[in-house]
Amino acid sequence: MRRSVLAIYVALILVCTFSFSAYASIKTKVNINTASVKELSTLNKIGEKYSQRIVEYRNTMGPFEKPEDIMKVKGISNKVFEMNKERIVVEDEVLEKKS
């Protein structure tokens, strides 16, 4: 009896932990002008390969002026942008909201 209660308790803790982590990453804003490859990879349909392209693009071309500019990166389509537009910010937006 104790083992089954303990197993249920451990399973519940694991489910809650992973659910909270997934929820937190969904709601977190990502500043595409400062985010690391790892942070960019939390965006939907943006893996490490595309994250690296975003970083390379901004290092070469300079900072993004608006969130939509992420579509200038090879492989980032309008569909991918639409999936993430609520989470993507650029530096100026973050500063404006703090003011």
Cα 32 from Cα 53, distance rounded (Å): 12
- Is 0.85 surpassed by the pTM of this model? no
| Residue matched to tokens 């937006």 | 93
The pLDDT of 7-14, averaged and rounded, is 73
Which domains does the chain show, CATH number per domain?
A: 30-98 (1.10.150.280)
Place of tokens 């104790």: 2
Q: Tens digits of per-residue pLDDT, 18-50?
A: 554 455 455 799 999 999 999 999 999 999 999
